[in-house]
């Protein structure tokens, strides 16, 4: 009985996982080895053609952009999220909860709606250009919408809370006595930050990087709405196959290769982590 | 309903339509008159609607489907034939026998429109008449193209004087080259072109007539024309899925819609022309004899229906993907 107890307790979760995560993934794997017929129906014979096509170098630019945009936005989100988390962690408990709620607030509206709001801000005759023109900072309105910068901005904005929260958790749990010890031993504020706070919050930063990079690299909404024709990410390519060309098997093959690449990079990431510790 | 099962037929209609594709009071008036409660759901991509029916989501009594999708859905046995058939004589002549459903056996024309060029008249000092405007170097990064392979590739084909439904690989390659030449001028490939047009973010774009009519309501500088080289006419249709739980109520809505006073109101609200000949007298005069609504006869003659591409559709898919990526 005792031996089975953990499994019984885990059963609801495992069942959910099996039905809602593993199940759909199996469908994607299955589809990726089939061809489509003239009416876009999945045909019965097995084939590797989708994978062969997915390895076409023509898809590399979109893949490269995904890593570039997601990497840049993750770095920015951490640079912005760290001071924010530090500030919140140093507040009194009541204020702390209020500020944390404010960080979470954007989640109460859909990502899509917030991205549309950015379109209004960034457009040629939009709020930001209006302000810049009024203050005579620019003479001609800037072209900000439908540029790589707008896509990175959209991603950074969206995943900033994902970066802030894990860093906050690691900073909030910091043993204050260590900071006192550091200053007692004559370290300056900067030295304390560099040699005590930063290393101790590193796991939080790593978690933040992972939590904002993984969803950003597969995102397609930001590139679709804020980007131009040359800003497509791998998520857009896959979405186009599913809803535009209606080629679900090929979209599945692209997804599988992408998932494989992500798993591999996570694996190497975990390895270097282990070595570092 | 199976014999022997005594169950009161529910007075419900599950209607699945494009977003912004009906007058604000159509559903309410229908409910008040018939006592049928309408569950009204909207989609912004016909592919999503089709995908739902295809994978077996049931519960829709009446869906609005574009012509090319009607053809596919008939072939895949997803639609119920209209029984009894409708009198086609009530429809405008060019809608009585569309190529996707020649006898209107499965589909009832709902609203129709055309593809053409929308532009902002403050950005140009002559009146354009050709697809060339979408290749105008002065409009760099201020042009949008529809994210629809049929419409956008056909734009290049019309301009080249080729068949807009071409299945000739060589011609399609040529069209691709034209679209790649145009690509640096394009700010994005999107079917949500209306907002950009209103905000003058877009100066010229490939657009659908009724959507442009909507844009013009907010920005009077927006104009629209059917290029001299020709354009597509498209029809969205009311169809009853095989899986409809309440086909009789769907039929009731179809008959209600076909009343001139009902469908003319939808035209005046959405900007899209309706198919009923008699309703023309009730339509806002700004849509009559105008490429935005009911194009005059000589323009109607330039219009072409999208044809079946058959196995060559894969070539279109590939070309469109190569243009966009």
Query: For residue range B70-110, what is the model confidence (pLDDT) as tens digits?
Result: 999 999 999 999 999 999 999 999 999 999 999 999 999 99
Q: Does pLDDT of B166 surpass 90?
A: yes
Q: Does pLDDT of A105 surpass 70?
A: yes
pLDDT of the residue at B17: 97
Give the mutation candidate from A244, A247, A249 for the B interface (greatest B CB count, under 10 A): A244
Q: Give the number of A-B residue pairs with CB atoms closer than 8 Å.
A: 60
> Of residues A37 and B136, which shows the higher confidence score?
B136
Put simply, the answer to whether A240 touches B183 (Cβ < 8 Å) is no
pLDDT of the residue at B8: 54
- Least Cα distance to B270 among B152, B117, B110, B70 occurs for B110
Express as a percent the part of chain B with pLDDT over 90: 82
Lowest mean pLDDT among B8-22, B96-110, B194-208: B8-22
Express as a percent the part of chain A with pLDDT over 90: 76
Asked if A239 has any chain B CB less than 8 Å from its own CB, the reply is no
Asked if A246 has any chain B CB less than 8 Å from its own CB, the reply is yes
DSSP 8-state assignment for residue B306: P
B→A contacts (Cβ < 8 Å), by residue, are 45, 47-48, 51, 72, 75-76, 141, 147, 149, 183, 186-189, 195, 199-201, 310-311, 313, 317, 320-322, 324-325
- Least Cα distance to A253 among A23, A5, A47, A20 occurs for A47
3-state secondary structure of B218: helix
Q: Does pLDDT of B22 surpass 50?
A: yes
pLDDT of the residue at A242: 87
Compare all CA atoms of chain A with the CA of B185 and give the residue at the minimum distance.
Answer: A229
Which residues fall within 8 angstroms of residue B54, CB to CB, at 6 or more apart? B76, B78
Q: Quick one: pLDDT band at residue A54, thresholds 50, 70, 90?
A: very high
Compare all CA atoms of chain B with the CA of A245 and give the residue at the minimum distance.
Answer: B317
In whole angstroms, what separates CA A49 from the centre of its chain?
A: 30
Q: B313 contacts in A (CB within 8 Å)?
A: 38
Q: Tokens 């019984």 — which residue?
A: A8
User: Each residue of A152-180: b (16+ CB within 10 Å) or e?
Assistant: bbbbbbbbbbbbbbbbbbbbbeeeeeebe
**Distance from the first to the final alpha carbon of chain A:** 38
pLDDT of the residue at B325: 79
DSSP 8-state assignment for residue B207: E
Mean pLDDT of all residues in chain A? Answer: 92
Smallest Cβ distance to B47: which of A62, A124, A243? Answer: A243
pLDDT in tens, B214-248: 999 999 999 999 999 999 999 999 999 999 999 99
pLDDT in tens, A252-275: 999 999 999 999 988 888 888 777
Q: Quick one: pLDDT band at residue B9, thresholds 50, 70, 90?
A: low
Smallest Cβ distance to A243: which of B45, B189, B199? Answer: B45
Q: Does pLDDT of A147 surpass 80?
A: yes
pLDDT of the residue at A276: 66
Asked if A147 has any chain B CB less than 8 Å from its own CB, the reply is no
Put simply, the answer to whether B313 touches A61 (Cβ < 8 Å) is no
Going through chain A in order, the beta strands assigned E by DSSP cover: 34-36, 42-46
A:126-145 residues touching chain B, CB 8 A cutoff: 126, 143, 145
When pLDDT is averaged across residues A105-129 and rounded to a whole number, the result is: 91
When pLDDT is averaged across residues A172-190 and rounded to a whole number, the result is: 91
When pLDDT is averaged across residues B143-157 and rounded to a whole number, the result is: 95
Smallest Cβ distance to A39: which of B72, B201, B320? Answer: B72
Q: Does pLDDT of B35 surpass 50?
A: yes
Q: B325 contacts in A (CB within 8 Å)?
A: 58-59, 61-62, 232, 237
Q: Does pLDDT of B1 surpass 50?
A: no
The structure tokens listed for B93 are: 């002549």
Q: Tokens 């894969």 — which residue?
A: B314
Q: Quick one: pLDDT band at residue B5, thresholds 50, 70, 90?
A: very low
Put simply, the answer to whether B186 touches A229 (Cβ < 8 Å) is yes
Q: Does pLDDT of A231 surpass 50?
A: yes
When pLDDT is averaged across residues B188-201 and rounded to a whole number, the result is: 91
pLDDT of the residue at B314: 84
pLDDT in tens, B245-301: 999 999 999 999 999 999 999 999 999 999 999 999 999 999 999 999 999 999 999
- Cα distance from B36 to chain A (closest Cα, Å)? 33
The structure tokens listed for B263 are: 């469908």
- Least Cα distance to B324 among A56, A70, A237, A189 occurs for A237
Q: Does pLDDT of A277 surpass 80?
A: no
Compare all CA atoms of chain A with the CA of B189 and give the residue at the minimum distance.
Answer: A229
**DSSP 3-state percent helix, strand, coil across chain A (nearest 5):** 75, 5, 20
Which residues fall within 8 angstroms of residue B261, CB to CB, at 6 or more apart? B279, B282
Asked if A227 has any chain B CB less than 8 Å from its own CB, the reply is yes
Put simply, the answer to whether B324 touches A124 (Cβ < 8 Å) is no
């Amino acid at each position: 009985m005792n031996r089975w107890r953990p499994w019984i307790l885990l059963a609801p979760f495992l069942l959910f996982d099996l039905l809602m995560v593993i199940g759909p993934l199996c469908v994607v794997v299955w589809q990726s080895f089939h061809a489509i017929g003239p009416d876009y129906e999945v045909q019965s014979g097995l084939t590797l053609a989708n994978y062969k096509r997915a390895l076409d170098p023509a898809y590399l630019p979109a893949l490269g952009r995904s890593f570039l945009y997601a990497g840049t936005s993750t770095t920015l989100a951490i640079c912005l999220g760290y001071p924010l988390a530090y500030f919140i962690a140093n507040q009194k408990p009541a204020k702390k909860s209020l500020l944390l709620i404010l960080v979470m607030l954007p989640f109460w509206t859909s990502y899509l709606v917030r991205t549309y709001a950015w379109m209004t801000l960034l457009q040629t005759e939009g709020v930001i250009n209006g302000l810049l023109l009024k203050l005579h900072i620019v003479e001609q309105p800037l072209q900000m919408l439908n540029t790589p910068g707008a896509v990175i901005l959209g991603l950074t904005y969206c995943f900033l809370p994902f970066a802030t929260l894990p860093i906050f958790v690691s900073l909030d749990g910091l043993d204050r006595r260590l900071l006192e010890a550091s200053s007692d031993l004559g370290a300056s504020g900067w030295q304390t930050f560099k040699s005590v706070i930063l290393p101790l919050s590193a796991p939080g930063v790593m978690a933040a990087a992972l939590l904002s990079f993984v969803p950003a690299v597969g995102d397609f909404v930001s590139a679709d709405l804020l980007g131009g024709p040359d800003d497509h990410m791998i998520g857009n390519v896959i979405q186009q196959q599913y809803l535009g060309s209606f080629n679900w098997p090929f979209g599945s093959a692209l997804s599988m290769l992408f998932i494989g690449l992500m798993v591999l990079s996570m694996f190497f990431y975990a390895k270097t982590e282990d070595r570092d510790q | 309903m199976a014999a022997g099962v005594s169950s009161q037929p529910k007075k419900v209609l599950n209607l699945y339509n494009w977003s912004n594709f009906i007058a604000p009071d159509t559903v309410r008036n229908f409910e008040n008159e018939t006592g049928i409660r309408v569950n009204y759901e909207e989609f912004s991509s016909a592919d999503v609607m089709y995908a739902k029916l295809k994978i077996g989501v049931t519960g829709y009594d009446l869906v609005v489907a574009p012509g090319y999708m009607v053809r596919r859905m008939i072939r895949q046995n997803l639609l119920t034939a209209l029984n009894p058939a409708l009198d086609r004589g009530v429809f405008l002549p060019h809608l009585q026998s569309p190529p996707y459903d020649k006898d209107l056996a499965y589909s009832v024309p709902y609203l129709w429109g055309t593809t053409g060029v929308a532009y902002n008249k403050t950005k140009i000092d002559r009146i354009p008449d050709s697809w060339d405007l979408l290749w105008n170097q002065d409009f760099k990064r201020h042009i949008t193209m529809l994210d629809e392979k049929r419409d956008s590739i056909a734009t290049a084909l019309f301009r080249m004087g080729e068949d807009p439904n071409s299945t000739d690989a060589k011609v399609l390659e040529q069209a691709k080259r034209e679209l790649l030449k145009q690509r640096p001028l394009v700010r994005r490939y999107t079917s949500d072109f209306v907002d950009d047009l209103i905000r003058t973010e877009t100066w010229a774009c490939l657009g659908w007539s009724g959507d442009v009519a909507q844009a013009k309501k907010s920005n009077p500088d927006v104009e629209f024309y059917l290029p001299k080289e020709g354009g597509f006419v498209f029809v969205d249709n009311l169809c009853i899925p095989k899986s409809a739980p309440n086909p009789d109520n769907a039929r009731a809505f179809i008959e209600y819609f076909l009343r001139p006073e009902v469908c003319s109101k939808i035209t005046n609200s959405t900007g899209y022309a309706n198919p009923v000949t008699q309703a023309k007298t009730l339509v806002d005069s700004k849509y009559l004899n105008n490429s935005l609504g009911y194009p005059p006869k000589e323009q109607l003659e330039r219009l072409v229906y999208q044809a079946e591409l058959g196995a060559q559709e894969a070539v279109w898919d590939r070309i469109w993907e190569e243009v966009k990526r």
